[in-house]
Amino acid sequence: MFHEALREKKVALRLGTMDDTNCSWSIKPQKVKELYSHKIEIDDLKEDDYYLITHQKGVDMRIGIDKRKNTFRQTKGSPNFYR
């Protein structure tokens, strides 16, 4: 899937790693309510009752914005810009 997208013009992919400070697991809010009301116990939770929370670092966002600006500048003067 990624390889096909990279063949298109103006597409960039930045591969990175996730660390413990920028991602964590949490229990879905509905399941938390059921736990507090004693409808279920911790042992009743299943794999799909959890979800991953990720945070993007500011430097990653700035890199993305810079790439977008540079791509726009390069294509604006191009005869293929409006195609």
| The pLDDT of residue 80 | 53
- pLDDT-derived band at 21 (thresholds 50, 70, 90) equals confident
| The pLDDT of residue 1 | 64
C-alpha–C-alpha distance, residues 10 and 68, integer Å: 9
- Indicate whether 8 pLDDT > 70: no
Q: How many CB atoms lie within 10 A of CB 60?
A: 13
Of 50, 60, 54, nearest to 24 by C-alpha is 54
Q: How many CB atoms lie within 10 A of CB 32?
A: 12
Helix (H) or strand (E) holding 75: helix 58-76
* DSSP symbol at 49: G
**Using one digit for the tens of pLDDT, what is the confidence trace for 33-73?**
999 999 999 999 999 999 998 876 666 555 666 666 666 66
Tokens of 78: 């191009």
